[in-house]
Chains A and B, each alone.
Chain A
């Protein structure tokens, strides 16, 4: 079974390499898509974040991936606080049924 998987994987990798070479050979070689974020008019954290994108896509991705859940947790806590303040208690539930 393990051998079969190894063979299948090998065939897939070779097929992908061959097909991509054929496709690439068919057309004119395209120039890589390179994007530089325009930070000339930005200041503060906006400039820093956009320049981080220019500096390294890896750092930018890591920071974005980490930032999103943190911001989610902060917003959740804030929502809880606001709801508590207006009298909605989500921490306990009183069953109405007997």
Chain B
């Protein structure tokens, strides 16, 4: 009886003792750069911490080293520079690598479709069973088509000529990622929120 009680006490106390060490913190943001070779990811932090209304306006961007253990890394992220698509003001906010700051660009609306779900034929290729690639950049017609999964908006707009020299991912939204860290700049666990569906079998 005494032995059993001692074992139970040890088992009870042990996890508390183990767990009493200093725990880490969580950071979340949108990926603007990802270097698979170097194992680094750069994010623009979400200022609001509200999953329904994220605010990607924290500067400067934060760079994290990816976890050393591959089992702690989820789906690899896609980088993109589009921070916000304001369809009311017809503005797009991008992260400008040259100035390391945000740039708000007014666009001329060509066409806009709302309530476009991620499996809508407009954005999903049923035959290939995979999402269509966005953004679609037409350098001849000077139009860009982007799809926002969160806002469920498919929009085509036109921009001044100079913007078409920028890389394609300037108009694409990077993946949203969540990082658990203890030491600044060193991720211990990496989750790709955009590509993780816990309800998918």
> A residues within 8 Å of B by Cβ?
31-41, 48, 51-52, 54-56, 59, 62-63, 66, 70
Contacts and interface: CB of A to CB of B under 8 A. Distances in A.
Nearest to B67: A34
Interface string B74-98: 1110000000000000000000000
A32 B198 CA distance: 12
B23 A48 contact: yes
Question: Which range holds the interface residue count of chain B?
Answer: 20 to 34
B24 A38 contact: no
A34 to B, nearest CB: 4
Nearest to A47: B23
Given A31-B75, A41-B49, A63 B26 contact: no
Nearest to B73: A34
27 contacts: A31-B75, A33-B196, A34-B72, A34-B192, A35-B191, A35-B196, A36-B178, A36-B179, A36-B189, A36-B191, A38-B26, A38-B28, A38-B51, A39-B26, A40-B27, A40-B49, A51-B24, A51-B26, A54-B180, A54-B188, A54-B189, A55-B188, A59-B18, A63-B16, A63-B19, A66-B11, A66-B12
Interface in B151-201: 178-180, 188-192, 195-196, 198
B24 A55 contact: yes
Nearest to A41: B49
Contacts of A59: 15, 18-19
Contacts of A70: 12
Contact of A52 (B14, B23, B179): B23
B71 interface: yes
A31 B175 CA distance: 15
A39 B15 CA distance: 20
